[in-house]
Structure 1
């Protein structure tokens, strides 16, 4: 074991910094398929090195949006943030599918002031009042991200899965709570409501802490924004893709960085 640890440390030192220090954001529900009269689930939210093992920092849930099967918005219960994770409960009063997401859309800026680099984070509405008009060497970028998972009480439904038309979104061709090992599932990605082609997806089964290889699956969206994956075995899977363009909501922002993350459970046959 000691030799393995030394070898792992040596290997990490040879990796590019972005790869060696890569962190994964995720939501992990206690169950994704359940049936009952107003059952509850608990959701872990974290940023970690391993899936789904909370060992870095908690995921902040300021942008938490829970959509009920009828399309209405719900509030999380018993929210608590600790050293390594945020935890909250959701009561599933309605039957059907729930969409649980952390959605962020913010601006990031930096400029030179008195020989030092100043940094700012906020919204388009606060930009004019909080960033100096004559800021030297001003650099502004926009970041839009969605981290989500899906839970069904009883029979699956579609209303909560409707796209909002903002940022990167997943459209369920195959229902996200109807996934089984050995079967293929198909999804469509949208960018601001339109098919997003050429997106590169990394799909990784949880439990990476306990195996030597990530065993990730890499797929790309086609011209219609669709991609398919055949699940090799049961478990919780993490899906991620990123994109960058210049469709910002503020003229001063030179680029927009977009990201999408989902946690999906694949059940045994």
Structure 2
């Protein structure tokens, strides 16, 4: 990542409440390089933040790992500071690596099911009359792809569990003016009509809005076109209807970071 890209990284703002969540902080993974050349390792920071990529709350997980170009899942051992986690992955093998937090459980909050969606309740807030209430647990996963040498495909394979994006264009072959394409999956099935927010920035501003807010088509696919070089983040949340009364609800969050070059 060149100096210009790093400036854009540091200035990428996060007006992430626009995604429609009561959670103020959102997850990201940021490598020191996306194109590794012939480097034999990569260093990645993970955090929750309101202003990308200024780390604010350390992102802890029991499942930090890297998927190698051969498709093997290798555990990573994080080092935790107060504001961020740091992981290092070996990249001695040529090809594309997928670095991930894995699925990590977060806080549990009380919410009411109202008109087909969750309404999260404050500590002293009562549920609307007649609405059923549930305990809703957040599950987050943040991912990023890096490549040593030429991009390869094996690490792009979906897990078919939880919320995830399947790359239809290679994340490390992202160019200004060309479409970036993903398919949104939940438990391996495409999510049609699913809202995705795309972030990328210039001036640091708490009022900055997403560059684009897109909706997946009937095949669960979405695309966006980077307008200038820099780092971009795509993120969305999925909150399935609770299966039965008394069961916990789940709020899934997924994010992926990529760099667009000319």
1:32 aligns to 2:34 (yes or no): yes
1:233 aligns with 2:235: no
* Pairwise CA distance, 1:110: 8.1
Q: Is 2:65 the partner of 1:65?
A: yes
Please state which structure has a larger fraction of its residues in helix. 1
TM-score, length basis structure 1: 0.73
Which stretch of structure 1 is more off in the superposition, 237-246 or 252-261? 252-261
1:105, distance to aligned residue in structure 2 (A): 5.2
How much does 1:164 deviate?
1.2
DSSP-derived class of the 1:51 partner: coil
Q: More strand by proportion, 1 or 2?
A: 1
Unaligned runs of 5+ in 2: 1-16, 111-131
Question: How many Å separate the matches in 2 of 1:96 and 1:67?
Answer: 11
Aligned Cα root-mean-square deviation (Å): 3.0
Aligned to 1:94: 93
Q: CA deviation at 1:71?
A: 1.1
Instruction: Select which of 17, 21, 24 maps to 1:22.
Output: 24
**1:74 aligned residue:** 74
Aligned to 1:224: 219
Once the two structures are superposed, residues 162-221 of structure 1 have per-residue CA deviations (whole angstroms, 9 ceiling, x without a partner) of 111111111111111110112112111111101111111111115552686345211110
**SS at the partner of 1:239?**
strand
Residues 87-145 of structure 1 deviation map (CA, whole Å, 9 limit, x = unaligned): 1211102111111111225487689xxxxxxxxxxxxxxxxxxxxxxxxx994434433
State the match for 2:54 in structure 1. Answer: 53
TM-score (norm. length: structure 2): 0.75
Q: Secondary structure at the match of 1:253?
A: coil
Q: Distance in 2 between matches of 1:217 and 1:107?
A: 27
* Aligned: 1:209 with 2:204: yes
Q: Structure 2: how far apart are the matches of 1:21 and 1:196? A: 22
- Between the aligned partners of 1:213 and 1:97, the Cα distance in structure 2 is 32
State the match for 2:122 in structure 1: none
1:162 aligned residue? 157
Larger Rg: 1
Q: How many residue pairs are counted as aligned between the two chains?
A: 224
Matched residue, 2:103: 104
